[in-house]
Amino acid sequence: MAKILIIDDDKASGRTLELHLDAQGHTVTTTTSIDEGMQAANEEEPDVLISDIRMPGRSGLDGLPEFKNRYPHLRVIMITAFHDMESTIDAMQKGADDYIHKPIDLDELDASIEKLLNLNGKGSDYILACDPTKMLTPLTMVGHSRAMKEIFKTIGMVATSPATVLISGESGTGKELVARAIHRNSLTPDGPFVVVNCAALVETLLESDMFGHEKGAFTGAVARQTGKFALARGGTIFLDEISEMSPTIQAKLLRVLQYKEFTPLGAEKAQATDARIIVATNVDLAEHVASGQFREDLYYRLQVVNIHLPPLRERKEDLINLVETLLGRINHEMHRNVSHIGKDVLECFTHYDWPGNVRELENILMKAVALSSGDTLTRDMLPEGIGHGSSLLASELSDAEDDMPSAKSLAEVEKAHVLRVLNEVDWHKGRACEILGVSRPRLRRIIRDYQIEAPPEITPMNDEGH
């Protein structure tokens, strides 16, 4: 439980909050002005401040910066009867952690306090997720799984050779990072690294982009253009989404691989290229060959060295390394210091299948950091389906799922599991919270939202478990 300081010039409102929070087990001090609140804070060193905004004398917004300067770890909830955007924005920019309108929903207040206590490490176990002082390049690849170790070894072996490399893997697995790592460790690391997205342009424009064109080669060709293969001389050209190439461009690429030369559109003479060719695909090229969508001779030309990147769901032992690396980079880019992460967050990550792979993980972390008011990433910051899809982790649901048809929704599974736990403890909510691993406010919301009712033969215990 926590020390909570209330500042509200409405004595009746302050007293109501005090009685409610005291019943929750918190130690509560109530004052009626910013100056009184500051004096009480000096004596009590509260964990959470609940302050009204509009009061005689100094307003809550006036006192907020001073509280945050004196007590950097103090969590602040601002309350107001006025619903204006400017006050909300002002409060959040001055360091408020939450903003609640009157009349106060006590469940909302309890949930906010629970969240803020978790941010202070009072409601959950936390691990250090990253070193905020560590500088990490966007090109950093991490992983200690066997698959990633093999990939690192392969990069080391092929980087100094001119061999063509085919990188396969689902979208978001980091294929371009592998290509850049090969280039960075090649014999020409200072040469250009040129990227071509084969799915981004129509056939004519892609051909011109890759090989260049002469003035007047086609309608709209008002000037000569140098192609990417020419720009990549002395370095590496990376052809992403190779499966999207048309048969015409596939034939021209095959000639480049065979003879190390290409012909710009409208040109009479071929040009030589010494660019290292690395290609990537997120589909099974062998299947495309079998269906006639991809040239078999080109496929075998590209298959000199094949590096397959496994999806994130198959290398979850790398999650902590990835989170550390991505958080460090995101903190640096966004000038933030989110350096702690809840163990329950990592459990959510572990039970999620990551269809968007590492790219999805990075986007989720970036959003969480942007919305974080402190230095800790908590479960409630995760999007629907990862942290909010259920208040129970997959490991907690396994028993309930055994007894239910597979067509049941996650919400139905959660409702059934919560009801079963409540019945097993004769609706003793304190014990139910311990078994479910949720707070009392959260359990009350589950019961209310799912309209769970006790059987007639059971008299529900109250929230204090009596």
CATH number for position 225: 3.40.50.300
In a domain, 463, yes or no: no
pLDDT higher than threshold 60 for residue 392: no
Region 192-209: what's the mean pLDDT? Answer: 89
Residue 212 pLDDT greater than 60, yes or no: yes
What is the distance between the alpha carbons of residues 209 and 239, in angstroms, rounded to a whole number? 12
pLDDT, averaged across the chain: 83
State whether 22 and 103 are in the same domain: yes
Asked if residue 151 and residue 257 are part of one domain, the reply reads yes
By the 10 Å C-beta count (0-12 exposed, 13-18 middle, 19+ buried), 399 is classed as exposed
- Is 376 part of a structural domain of the chain? yes
Q: What is the Cα–Cα distance from 201 to 220, expressed in whole angstroms?
A: 16
Whether residue 272 contacts residue 311, with contact meaning beta carbons closer than 8 Å, is answered with no
Pick the last residue of a domain from 327, 359, 381.
Answer: 381
| One domain, residues 91 and 198 | no
Same domain as 171, residue 231:
yes
- pLDDT tens digits along 254-266: 999 999 999 998 8
Q: Is residue 21 part of a domain?
A: yes
Whether residue 455 lies inside any domain: the answer is no
From the CB of residue 169, how many other CB atoms can be counted at a distance below 10 Å?
19
Band of residue 88 on the pLDDT scale cut at 50, 70, 90: confident
- Do the domain assignments include residue 458? no
**Residue 58 belongs to domain with CATH number:** 3.40.50.2300
Q: Is the domain of 268 the same as that of 205?
A: yes
- Residue 288's pLDDT band (boundaries 50, 70, 90)? very high
| Domain co-membership, 319 together with 283 | no
Q: Work out the number of other CB atoms within 10 angstroms of the CB of residue 396.
A: 19
Same-domain pairing of 287 and 353: no
The answer, yes or no, to whether residue 403 has pLDDT greater than 70, is no
- 416-463 per-position pLDDT tens digit: 878 887 887 778 887 777 677 666 767 787 888 788 888 876 666 554
Residues 88, 203 within the same domain: no
pLDDT bin (cut points 50, 70, 90) of residue 358 is very high
Q: Which of the listed residues 381, 405, 426 is the one where a domain comes to its end?
A: 381
Instruction: Report the number of distinct structural domains present in the chain.
Output: 4
Query: Is there a contact between 237 and 185 (Cβ–Cβ < 8 Å)?
Result: no
Give the mean model confidence (pLDDT) for residues 42-56. 91
Alpha-carbon gap, residue 371 to 216, rounded angstroms: 52
Among 309, 338, 371, identify where a domain stops.
Answer: 309
Q: Is residue 34 part of a domain?
A: yes
In this structure, are strands 3-7 and 271-272 parallel, antiparallel, or unpaired? unpaired
Are 303 and 359 within one domain? no
pLDDT tens per residue, range 103-156: 888 888 988 888 788 765 554 455 545 555 454 566 678 888 889 989 999 999
Between 248 and 338, name the one with better pLDDT: 248
- Could you tell me the residue range of the domain that residue 211 belongs to? 146-309
**Sole residue written with tokens 């021209």:** 252
Strand order across the beta sheet in which 165-168 lies: 193-197, 236-240, 276-281, 165-168, 305-308
Q: Is the pLDDT of residue 408 over 80?
A: no
3-state secondary structure of 462: coil
Check whether the bond before 103 is cis (ω within 30° of 0): yes
459 burial level (CB within 10 Å; 0-12, 13-18, 19+): exposed
CB 241 within 8 A of CB 196: no
Contact assessment for residue 281 and residue 245, using Cβ atoms and an 8 Å cutoff: no
Beta carbons within 8 Å of 249's beta carbon, 6+ residues apart: 198, 203, 206, 207, 210
On whether residue 425 sits in a domain, the answer given is: yes
Do 152 and 281 lie in a common domain?
A: yes
Contact 221, 215 (CB under 8 A): yes
Pair 262, 277 in one domain: yes
Question: In this structure, are 53 and 156 located in the same domain?
Answer: no
Q: Is residue 188 part of a domain?
A: yes
Per-residue pLDDT band at 390 (split at 50, 70, 90): very low
Tell me the pLDDT tens digit for each residue of 160-198. 999 999 999 999 999 999 999 999 999 999 999 999 999
